[in-house]
Amino acid sequence: MDDVVIGVSGLVKNYPNNPAVCNVSFKVRRGEIFALLGPNGAGKTTIIKILEFVERPTSGFAYVLDSEQLYALTKDYTGIKEKIGALPQGFKGFDLLTVYENIDYFAQMYRKYGNVDRIIDEMGLRDKRNALFKHLSGGQKQRVGIAIALINDPEVVFLDEPTTGLDPKARRDVWDMIKGLKARGKTVLLTTHYMDEAHQLADRICVLNRGSIVTHGTPEDLINKYGGGNTLVVRGCSTGAIERLREALPGSLVSGNDVTVRLAYGDGMAAMAKAISVLGGDGHLCQELYVKKPTLEDVFLNLTGERLDDA
């Protein structure tokens, strides 16, 4: 694989009585956004912490930017640390320092760092430059965290759950910023338990559950392979409508007042036409009728038997 900047092979991390990461292998190419997607406890943070030099693996091989194994005792990793940036999970700045002071504090830790005011502008925080951290909104705080992750102009950026706890507008702002990192040629490894976030942002996804890889690939490939095809959904049906649909559409599943039918490839239009014809176009018989495409949530459900939200 060309220009691999992160490599993980047979990675294992055991906490006392707790196998957090079990034999995980993947590669990340330069310039791509790569997502570790999985529910809480899947091992995402542990993997990212190993790559950031925060945790040591129990066994296995990992490298970042340099094909020498991390944690080899003889090597000085200062050079690599200067080239990576990290947004930790649940980032918190100093409440009583301003936005400028928070970013400048971390900038001083590097031998070479960017212009703090420029990065404040890039993160859309100019009018908050002199505001105390504690007075910022959740989205603004997260942008300060991303600014800190970028202050050394890193080649690789680790973002651990970058939008957890944010409202929908702030999430979208952070997504735009992450897309901007890719446009600037950065390699991004992010973790998330939001399947829409992984789908929106990632070039490739590694799906994890209970410390192991479930599958990996591009979002489209995963959905095509494991999503289970389209589903016809008829919601809010009357009792009579449910009976008619069950007769007309073999394999229908009924849940409350909703009827769903798994569609074979290319069957969507025919099934929809059949449903409309048996309902006689009578708007009182059901409330909604549509074809639902599978998502990464369906991929996770089909491969693990668990829901991403509940697992």
Chain residues that interact with ligand ADP, rule: CB under 6 A: 15, 18, 20, 38, 40-46
CA atoms 13, 17, 18, 19: torsion sign = positive
Of residues 15 and 290, the one with the C-beta less far from ligand ADP: 15
As measured in angstroms, the least distance from the Cβ of 20 to ligand ADP is 3
Q: Burial of 111 by CB count in 10 Å (0-12 exposed, 13-18 middle, 19+ buried)?
A: exposed
Tokens matching residue 152: 């050394």
Q: Which is nearer to ligand ADP, 233 or 311 (CB)?
A: 311
Q: Minimum Å distance from CB 123 to ligand ADP?
A: 25
CB of 18 to ligand ADP, least distance (A): 5
Could you count the other beta carbons within 10 Å of the beta carbon of residue 53?
Answer: 15
Closest by CA position to 61, among listed 73, 76, 72, 53: 72
> Measured from the CB of residue 38, what is the shortest distance to ligand ADP in angstroms?
5
Nearer to ligand ADP, 119 or 149 (CB): 149
Of 10 and 90, CB closest to ligand ADP? 90
Alpha-helical runs (H) found in the chain: 44-51, 78-81, 99-107, 116-122, 138-150, 168-183, 195-201, 219-226, 239-248, 268-279, 296-304
**Residue 43 beta carbon to ligand ADP: minimum distance, rounded to whole angstroms:** 5
Q: State the CB neighbour count (10 A cutoff) for residue 207.
A: 25
Q: How far is the CB of 151 from ligand ADP (least distance, A)?
A: 24
Nearer to ligand ADP (CB atom), residue 69 or residue 212? 212
Start-to-end Cα distance in the chain? 33
Nearer to ligand ADP, 193 or 244 (CB): 193
For the record, the structure tokens of 232 come out as: 């016809």
> Nearest CA to 157 among 133, 177, 128?
177
Q: Least separation, in Å, of the C-beta of 54 and ligand ADP? A: 10
Choice between 16 and 250, CB closer to ligand ADP? 16
Residue 193 Cβ, how far from ligand ADP at the closest point, in Å?
7
For residue 27, which of 73, 72, 61 has the smallest C-alpha distance?
A: 61
Single-letter amino acid, residue 63: Y
CB 143 within 8 A of CB 125: yes
Cβ closer to ligand ADP: 45 or 152? Answer: 45
The answer to whether the beta carbons of residues 303 and 214 sit under 8 Å apart is yes
Eight-class DSSP state of 287: S
